[in-house]
Structure formats: C-alpha cells, structure tokens
Structure 1
Amino acid sequence: MPILTELNLYPIKSCAGISLREATLTSAGLMVEHIYDREWMVVDEKGEFLTQRTHPKLALVTPRIKADTLELRAPGMLRLEVPLGLPDPEEAKTLQVRVWEDTVEAYDCDETTAAWFTNFLGTPCRLARFHANAKRLASNKWTGEVEAPTLFADAFPLLVIAEASLADLNAKLKAQGREALPMNRFRPNIVIGGIEAFEEDFAASFRIGDAVLKPVKPCARCNVPSVDQSTGVPGPDPLDILQSYRANPKLDGALTFGMNTIVLEGEGQVLRVGQEIGVELAF
C-alpha cells in the first residue's frame, strides 16, 4: 500500500528544509503555521535569485518556525530572527526579484538580515519575501487549463519522489563503490513509500484523503544533489549515474528524478505522514 513517508517544507529557497509530521495543502504547495514553501529567497544586488547551484553554503542555513519569528542559524553566525508578520503595506520596502524567467514584487527584509546573509555567503545579497499581491504561475505548457500558483519554487508547487526511486539510484551508486545518498539531496516536498521505483513518473494522480495531486513534469536535475546538505560542500555528482538511465526525451534528454506536481483538489486539507495514498497510473 502506498504511504506518505515524508513531508518537507523549505521556507527559504535553497536553504535547509523542515521535516514535518503534518502540513496544510494549498494550491501553491505545502504550508505550516501560515508559512509557505519557498516564501523567502536570497537575492543578489540586482534581485537575481541565489541557490545552492552557485552558493552551496545556503544548505547550512537552518530555519525554525517560532511563535512570531523564523529563526535562522548557520555555522559561525549569531542566531537571526526574521519576523513572521507581514510588514505594514504603507511602510513596506519592496523590490523586484527574478527567479528564472519570472520577475515579481517582493518585500525587502531589513538591513540586519541582508548583512547576516552577506557575511555568511561572502557576497552582497538580501533576503526577499514573496509579496502578498504578487502572482506567479507554473507553465501552462505542463499544467494545461489548471492555474497552478507557486511562490519562489523553481517552477511548480510540489516535488514528489518515491523512496524506491532513490533506492534504485543508491543500488547503482553502491555497485560502483560509491556512497548512498540521502533523500534530502533531492529536496522533495512529498516522499512516497510502497510504490515501485519511478512509478511516480507514470502516475496520472495521487489521492491523499480528499486531496488530489497531479504529476505534470519530470524534474530536470542540476548539480544540487552533489551538495552534502549537512556540510554545504559539493561532492561526487550522481548525474553521471543518472545519465546512464534517466535521460528523458520529453525534456530533450535532460536527466530527471522526481515529478513536479500540482494540486487539483483538496486545498486546505491536512496531509499527515503515514497516510495512505491512492495512485492512479496514466496507462
């Protein structure tokens, strides 16, 4: 029986995630304590997004949701408290930020926060928060007639991966004398146990309670899975192994692992680790 085995929220794009026992499903992805997945993002002086692709130390920024703040910790840095309440619209400082091809309005977090990230990463940068009036939609090339909002995720509200898919990759790594990789290298929101390796690729939908999720696009992989999430140090890249069997013709040969997913039904439903999942295959 397919089971929901992990729920992960990433409050700040490319920083450490928070493992959850339960989370609220929204059309834009997971939410807990009114904090949304990828609600914040680190940007450079031009408003361009920064990620572990170029700044792997972001993996070491660890968030924790408290009553009124998002607490951030990182090696060698004093603890930082980022207010959770939205700023006064009359006084809020905003900026235009860019994530891939999309430019949206964001709240500019304060100078103390900017200095904290600048000192830690060693490059001028700021922390931006998705604006309450901003709108960003996943590509309708993949979602069809469904409008799927997202915040600062790369492109879609949710990323789903099967445990067996990682086990399959790790078996191939071990066969070459290499170390197995933990799931956090691939940064999924939802992990499913009890299905075959890469069965998520062929799913028409996942039903979790009253929620219905639709996988729409295979997730093309970059160099982030090479970054050790506990040290922030890049290591051997699994892309060479994925090259041998995960080149996807739907994406012009890009190497894919996991499925980008949208929400069809069940906004506001609470998802819980241990829930049974109904998997409808597309054939």
Structure 2
Amino acid sequence: MEISALYHFPVKSLQGHKCKSLPLDRFGAVNDRRWMLVDGDNQFVTQRRLRPMAQLKATVTSSGVRLENPEGVAIEIRQPDSDANARVVRVWDDEVSARDAGDEAAHWLSEQLQSPVRLVAMGDEFQRPLEAPRQDRQVSFADAAPLLVISQASLDDLNRRLAEPVSMLRFRPNLVVSGCEPFAEDSWKTLIIHTHDGPLVFDCTHPCARCGIPGLHPFTGRAQKEPLRTLASYRRWEDGQIYFGMNLAPASANQIPATIHLGDRVEVR
C-alpha cells in the first residue's frame, strides 16, 4: 500500500487543496483547519449551516490566508498576532481560545455568506487535547482527530454503485491510501507510514461517522441525495451512523514534526 493523495484545508469547511507533501506538527497537518468561522455566539460554523462556504477558496500565504469567491474577488488576511482579541470559541463540545482575525475579514465573509460570521485562527497558546487515553496529543479545529485517512478502494467501491461518480473531496480526508481492499480501514488498529525520515506510527482512533457534508457539492454547496443515500444502504452501522474513513492520531507525540510524501509506503496492523 502507498499514499496516493494528500489534502489540506486551511479554513474549516472552505475549499482545500491537493498537495505533494504534508508536513505534520503536534496538531495534525500543517495549515489544515487552522482557521475557522464562528457565529455571534462563538459557535463554529460549517457548510452544514452555510452552504455557500463551499464556494470560497482558502489558500495559505506567507503571512496568513487568502480567501477568494467564485468571481475571483479576494481578500488577504494576516495571521492575528498575540495582541489580537482573544475569543473563546466552541468546536463541538470543546471550548478553546482562538484569535480574532479582525473586522475587515468578518465583514468580507459576512457579505459573501449573507450571514454574520467572524474568522478566528489558532495562536501559539492554542490547546485542544484529545480525549483520554490520548490527552497528551492535540488536535486543531478539525472535528475529531488530527488526521483522516480513506482508502481509494472505498471510494471506488462507492462510485461503482452510483450513477454519477463523486470525488474524494466530498469526504475531506488528509490521506488517501491505495493498494488495499474496499473499507479495509474499518479494521485497522495501527497505521505505519514509511517516510524519507523513517517510520511514522499512528493510532487508528475511531471510524469516521459522516454528517451531511458529503451530500453537498464540494464547489457549489448544492445539496444532493447522493452519495449519502447509497452509502446508507450498505454503510449504516448498528448505531444508525454512516461510516466512511478512519480517524488517526500519532501514536507518540515524540514523532512530530515529520513530513508525509506521495508514494510513501504504508503498512497496517
């Protein structure tokens, strides 16, 4: 098996990018979900609530992030410094300290989305430990774990059942692995990536329960019945959730920093 695709998503629930290498730090993939939109109650906002978020591109710059709408109108936002207004925000059940990116960013995004939102970023003081027994490891604004892996065979299996195939972007993984059977990742316990600098060992923490976002077109936000309707026919488990993909966390925080490259060999246990 090998790494066949890599992705990062700079702003949670905005468009992301394919990449040839994926540097890691203690929160997961560098530049992945390091920015996030919040509402007036400091609650995180995603495409589940504001579908036009899917239309906005987010690209990392040397000083922060660049956002662009479908017409090519863009704004560049600097990484908030330590003097920026601290804001306690909520990601699911976690309350974390984030840095507000300022009124200009908030106005631009609110206008694009026709809803009042603010943009926040992770700062040096950011802390969001995983649940026990992995509380020594951290996660960014991602939903549940530092990384998400999906096998290419799983997507291929799904697409064979669909009238119109869907892209991997529906599922927003960081890592795609080729060379295994469909849904082999369901049973993985440990994933080892053999990088140029040596092996990286990851715990497969829990399968990924899917929300409604795979049912939204990844570039328009338009709601569609597929692929969730077909997935529900054969990937709904006893708890009623639809599963697709596996969440990962470094087996040891001491392995980080490191970098994953396309073509790196993958071993599972």
Name the SS for the 2:43 alignment partner.
coil
Please point out which of 60, 85, 99 is paired with 1:107: 99
1:256 to 240, 243, 247: 243
1:69 and 2:59 correspond: no
With normalisation by structure 2, the TM-score equals 0.93
**1:226 aligns to what?**
215
Shift of residue 145, structure 1, vs aligned partner: 4.5
Q: CA deviation at 1:279?
A: 1.7
- Which runs of structure 2 are paired with 1:85-234 in the superposition (5 Å)? 86-87=80-81, 89=82, 91-140=83-132, 144-145=133-134, 147-173=136-162, 178-209=163-194, 210-234=199-223
CA separation of 1:169 and 1:161: change in aligned 2, threshold 3 A: same
| Deviation for aligned residue 1:146 | 5.5
Is 1:50 paired with 2:49? no
Which stretch has the larger CA shift, 117-126 or 54-63? 54-63
8 Å contact kept, 1:139–1:155: no
* Structure-1 separation of matches of 2:33 and 2:173: 12
> Aligned partner of 1:183: which letter?
M
- How far did residue 231 of structure 1 move? 2.0
Whichever residue aligns with residue 245 of structure 2, its letter is G
Q: Percent identity?
A: 34
Q: CA deviation at 1:108?
A: 0.6
Superposition deviation, residue 155 in structure 1? 1.2
Aligned equivalents of 2:179, 2:117: Cα separation in 1: 42
Is the alpha carbon distance of 1:103 and 1:146 closer, same or farther for their aligned partners in structure 2, counting shifts above 3 Å? Answer: closer
Aligned AA for 1:131?
G
Query: Aligned match of 1:40 in 35, 38, 51?
Result: 35
**Structure 2 segments unaligned to the other structure (5+ residues):** none
Q: Which runs of 4+ in 1 moved over 6 A?
A: none
Contact 1:27/1:262, CA 8 A, preserved across alignment: no
Q: Return the alpha-carbon distance in structure 2 between the equivalents of residues 162 and 81 of structure 1.
A: 34
Contact 2:64 2:77 in 1 (8 A): yes
User: Could you tell me which residue of structure 2 aligns to residue 60 of structure 1?
Assistant: 55
CA contact (8 A) 1:172 1:241 kept: yes
RMSD value, Cα: 1.5
* Unpaired stretches in structure 1, ≥5 consecutive residues: none
TM-score after normalising by structure 1:
0.88
Structure 2 CA distance for aligned equivalents of residues 59 and 185 of structure 1: 11
* CA–CA distance in structure 2, aligned partners of residues 73 and 112 of structure 1: 14
- Structure 1 Cα separation of the partners of residues 235 and 100 of structure 2: 39
User: In 2, distance between residues paired with 1:77 and 1:50?
Assistant: 23
How far residue 26 of structure 1 moved from its aligned partner, in angstroms, is 2.3
* C-alpha distance in 1 between matches for 2:105 and 2:240: 40
Is the 2:37–2:44 Cα contact (8 Å) retained in structure 1? yes
Report the more deviating stretch, 152-161 or 21-30: 21-30
Shift of 1:69: 3.4
- Determine the C-alpha separation between the residues in 2 that align with 1:99 and 1:145: 18
- Kindly state the Cα deviation for residue 60 of structure 1 after the two structures are TM-superposed: 1.6
Distance (whole Å) between structure 1 residues aligned to residue 86 and residue 2 of structure 2: 42
Query: Cα distance 1:123–1:37, how it changes in 2: closer, same or farther (>3 A)?
Result: same
Q: Is 1:238 aligned to 2:227, yes or no?
A: yes
Q: Distance in 2 between matches of 1:64 and 1:99?
A: 22
Tell me which residue corresponds to 1:24: 23
> Take 1:262 and 1:271, find their aligned partners in 2: how far apart are those partners?
14
